Structure 1
Amino acid sequence: MHDICNHDAYFVQKCDATGTLGLLPEQKLTAVIRMLAYGASADQVDEVARMGKSTTLEALVRFCDAVETLYTRDYLRRPTPRDLQRLLQKAEARGFPGMVGSIDCMHWQWKNCPTAWQGDYGNRKGQKSIILEAVAGFNTWVWHAFFGVPGSQNDLNVLGQSPVFNDVLRGQGPNITYEVNNTVYQTGYYLADGIYPRWTTFVKSIPNPRSQKEKLFATYQEKYRKDVERCFGILQARWLIIRGAARMFDEEVFY
C-alpha cells in the first residue's frame, strides 16, 4: 500500500472542494483486491468498500498499472546469474543438471469474447480463450510469460511466436555447463510435455517406458514438470478474475 501510494497519488486520501475527506487507500485497495481475488464486479464490492462503480474501476486500472510498473523488474524478468545458479543447484539436486525450469501453456477462458473475434479465439473445445505461455521454477516463480495469443492455437504455434528463445538466437543466452554420462553440455533446457518439438532445449518424458530405467526417468520428469502446472493452479485459485470475464478489456491496451 505504501509503495503504491508513493507511486500514484490517486490512492492517497485527500480533501474534496468542500473540505470533506475522501476515500482511504485501504478502501480502494480492498475493493481492487476483492475484484482480482474473487472475480467480483465493481457493483459487488460496493457494500464492502462504499465506493462508486466508476471509482472502483479506475482504482483497479491504476492499481494494475502501479503493480506492473513497480514490480515487473523484480518479479517478471530473466533470471540473474545468481538466480540461475540457485535454479541449477536445485535442479541438479533433483536429478536434472542444467534444467532452468518447466514450460507450458494455459488457456484463459474468455467468457464475454466479442462476437467478431470468436472465430480467432475459439479453442479445440469450442470455448473462447486466450493462451498464457510461462516458464516457472521449482518455487512457482514465473521467469517468462507470453500472453495474448488467440485460443485457436496450440502450444507449438504459441512457441513459434514467443520470445522465450530470442536471447539464445542472438547468442546472448546464459552460459550453462554441466556433465551427464561423461559428456559435457553447454545448453540449458526446460522440462516440457510431448507436444513440444525434439529440440535440445526441451527434455520430454518417454511415452511408453518399458525398462526400469525408462520408467524411473519418466516418473521424475513428469513429476518435476508439474512445477509450471502447479503455478497455473495457484494463479487460477488465488486470482479468480482469470476464470471470469475479461473485465476492463481495452483493444488499445491489449495490443
Structure 2
Amino acid sequence: MIGSIDCMHWQWKNCPTGWAGEYSGRKQIPTIILEAVASYDTWIWHAFFGMPGACNDLNVLTKSPLFDELTAGRAPLIQFQVNNRAHSLGYYLADGIYPRWATFLKTVRNPTRPKEIEFAKAQKAYRKDVERCFGILQSRFGIVRGAAYSDDELESDDEEDNNMRPRIAEVWEGPTGRDFDPVGRDAHHMNGFMDRYQQIRSEHSHSNLQQDLIQHFWEFQGNRSI
C-alpha cells in the first residue's frame, strides 16, 4: 500500500469574474483542487494542484501525473503476495468515487459478512491519513485554510492600474541539451505502454486484490476458523 489518495478544495477569493463559473463547484464558491497522496505519518508523496473547483476527483485524476511513471515503465518494480496470489502493482486507498482499478483499493459497499464489515472499518480508518494530512496543512498554513489573494493584491497600492496592464510573455525556446528524452513511435514501446495502461485499469485485478486483502486481514485478526 503506497498511501491514501484524496482531493481537497482551496478557496480562490479573488477569482476573476469570467472564470468563476468554471472554478465554482457544489459549494458555489470558486476553488482550486489539490490532489494528494499521504502516508500514515502525513508525509505527502504526490501532490497535483491547479484543477478548477467544478471538477470532481475523477476529472482531476484524468489530468494528474500520478501514473505517468508507471505507464512509461520507469516506476520501480513491485511484487507481493497476498492470500497465495501474486500482485505486481502498488495500490492507493481510495473512497467510492475512484474507479475499480488495480491501483486503487476501495471499501466494500454495504458489507454484510463479518470479514467484509471488519475490512471496511479498517480501510476507512487508514484512508483517514490523507484527510488528517489536509487538516494539518490547513491548521499550519493560513494560505491553505483561507482564501487566496491574486498577485495584484500583493503588489504596491501606488500602481492602481496593475489589473489593466498586460503581463509580459516569456517565450519558451524549446529544450536545451538533454532536458527531455526523445519521444519514439516504435511499436515495441507503444505496446508496452498499452499493456501497462490496461494493467492499471484492470477491474479483475482490483477485485482479486480486494478479495485477497479481505481474507488476509480477517486471518490476521485471528479469525481463521470462520
**TM-score interval (norm. to shorter):** 0.5 to 0.7
Contact 2:38 2:44 in 1 (8 A): yes
Quote the Cα distance in structure 2 between the aligned partners of 1:248 and 1:157: 25
Aligned partners of 2:43 and 2:58: how far apart in 1? 23
TM-score, normalized by length of structure 2?
0.65
User: Does the alignment pair 1:206 with 2:108?
Assistant: yes
Aligned to 2:148: 246
Deviating runs (4+, > 2 A) in structure 1?
A: 247-252
One-letter identity of the residue aligned with 2:53: G
Amino acid at match of 1:205: T
Q: How does 1:60-79 map onto structure 2 within 5 Å?
A: none
Partner of 1:74: none
Q: Cα distance, 1:138 vs. partner?
A: 1.0
Aligned to 1:3: none
TM-score, structure 1 as length reference: 0.58
Q: Secondary structure at the match of 2:21?
A: coil
What residue number does 2:77 align with? 175
- The equivalences for 1:1-255 within 5 A come to 99-249=1-151
Output the CA distance in 2 between the equivalents of 1:244 and 1:117. Answer: 19
Structure 1 position 112, deviation (Å): 2.0
Cα distance in 1 between the residues matched to 2:109 and 2:140: 33
Aligned-pair distance for 1:125?
1.9
Q: Can you list the C-alpha shifts for 1:55-75, whole angstroms capped at 9, x where unaligned?
A: xxxxxxxxxxxxxxxxxxxxx
Which ranges of structure 2 fall in alignment gaps of 5 or more residues?
A: 153-165, 168-226
SS in 2 for 1:222: helix
Q: Once superposed, what is the RMSD of the aligned Cα atoms?
A: 1.5
Matched residues, number: 154
**Alpha-carbon distance between aligned partners in 1 of 2:105 and 2:25, rounded to the nearest angstrom:** 26
Q: Which residue of 1 aligns with 2:171?
A: none
Query: Highest relative contact order (Cα 8 Å, sep 6+), 1 or 2?
Result: 2
